[in-house]
Amino acid sequence: YPNPEDPNAFELALKYAKEQQADIVMATDPDADRLGIYARTDSGEYASFTGNMSGALICEYILSQKKAKGALPSNGAIVSTIVTSDMVKAAADYYGMHFVETLTGFKFIGEQIKQFEEQGSYQYLFGMEESYGCLPGTYARDKDAVAAVMMLSEAAAFYKNQGRNLWDQMLQIYKKYGFYKEALETMTFKGKEGA
pLDDT at 187 (0 to 100): 81
pLDDT at 184 (0 to 100): 65
Phi first, then psi: what are they for 194, rounded to 5°? Answer: -70, -20
Is 182 in contact with 52 (CB distance < 8 Å)?
A: yes
Rounded CA gap, 126 and 134, in Å? 7
Q: 39-86, pLDDT tens digit by residue?
A: 999 999 999 999 999 999 999 999 999 999 999 999 999 999 999 999
Q: 125-175, pLDDT tens digit by residue?
A: 999 999 899 999 999 889 999 999 999 999 999 999 999 999 999 999 999
Which stretches within the chain are classed as H helix?
A: 11-20, 51-68, 87-94, 106-119, 145-161, 166-177, 191-194
Total-model pTM: 0.91
pLDDT of residue 193 exceeding 90: no
